Amino acid sequence: MNENLLTTLTEISEGHTNKLEQHDQQISALQETLGQISALKGALNHLTQAGGPINQLLIHLPEQSNLHQRLDRTLRDTITALSRPQVQNHHHHFPRVAWATVGLFLMLCLVSTGWYLTASRLGDFRDNDIKYRYLQLIDNKQVVHLLHFTDSLQRAQPEFFRDSVLSKEEEKHRRLEMLDEANRKEAEAEQLRQRAKQ
């Protein structure tokens, strides 16, 4: 985006520079014209002594000279105004209705995500409830005894029960990672032995 802004500013600056050069050329042409007019005015002064229609021409010549001087002043003022940097303001309007629409869409996305996550967790709870009820229906006394024992532990100390289950799961996971690491190192050692034999 900065490169686009830089190229745009460069193009604008080059355009202003070209215009200033054109105005300078026009002013120098006008100054040459004024010089020629003043030279012609001197020549006409010599001719006025002869009289006639040249006198009427000389009467209107100062008015023309005044017009050229005003044009010269106007051009100089224009050049000074164009030589100053111009500030460009860009206004981007994004209506409030669009902001409200974006906000409502984001809220809808959040609510839909919440509903989806709640529905998936509810499905997990239902599945776990069915599994538990299935285990209670088994006629094996050891399984039923284990379920009653687990229920009583969970009801007596729910936080301790949860923490102990989580710690045992972490320990099991850590053991599996260590076993994977040992298997990988054994495979590497075997490869090193085979290379050493060759």
Secondary structure (DSSP) of 111-169: HHHHHHHHHHHHHHHHHHHHHHHHHHH---HHHHHHHHHHHHHHHH-HHHHHHHHHHHH
Q: Pull the structure tokens for residue 45.
A: 């002064």
pLDDT tops 80 at residue 77: yes
Q: What is the pLDDT of residue 50?
A: 57
pLDDT-based confidence at residue 108 (cuts at 50, 70, 90): very high
User: Which band of pLDDT confidence, cut at 50, 70 and 90, is reported for residue 183?
Assistant: very high
| Confidence bin at 54 (pLDDT 50/70/90) | low
> In the prediction, which pLDDT does 106 show?
94
Asked whether the predicted pLDDT for residue 162 surpasses 60, the reply is: yes
pLDDT of residue 184: 93
Q: Is the pLDDT of residue 14 over 80?
A: yes
Question: The tokens of 193 are what?
Answer: 């032995």
Measure the CA–CA gap between 194 and 137, rounded to whole angstroms.
Answer: 56
- The three-point CA angle 45-28-44 to 5° equals 10
Closest by CA position to 80, among listed 28, 21, 20, 26: 20
pLDDT of residue 27: 84
Decide: 135 and 147 in contact? Cβ < 8 Å.
yes
With 80 as the cut, is the pLDDT of residue 48 above it? no
Only one residue has tokens 């460009």, namely: 88
pLDDT at 189 exceeding the cut of 80: yes
Single pTM value for the model? 0.32
Among the listed ranges 10-24, 49-63, 128-142, 168-182, which one has the minimum average pLDDT value? 49-63
Nearest in space to 76 (alpha carbons), one of 38, 32, 30, 33? 30
At 181, the amino acid letter reads: E
Give yes or no for residue 191 having a pLDDT over 60. Answer: yes
The confidence band for 22, taking pLDDT boundaries of 50, 70 and 90, is: confident
pLDDT higher at 51 or 96: 96
pLDDT tens-place string over residues 27-37? 888 888 888 88
Torsion of CA 35, 39, 44, 45, to 10 degrees: 110
Q: 30 with 78: CB under 8 angstroms? A: no
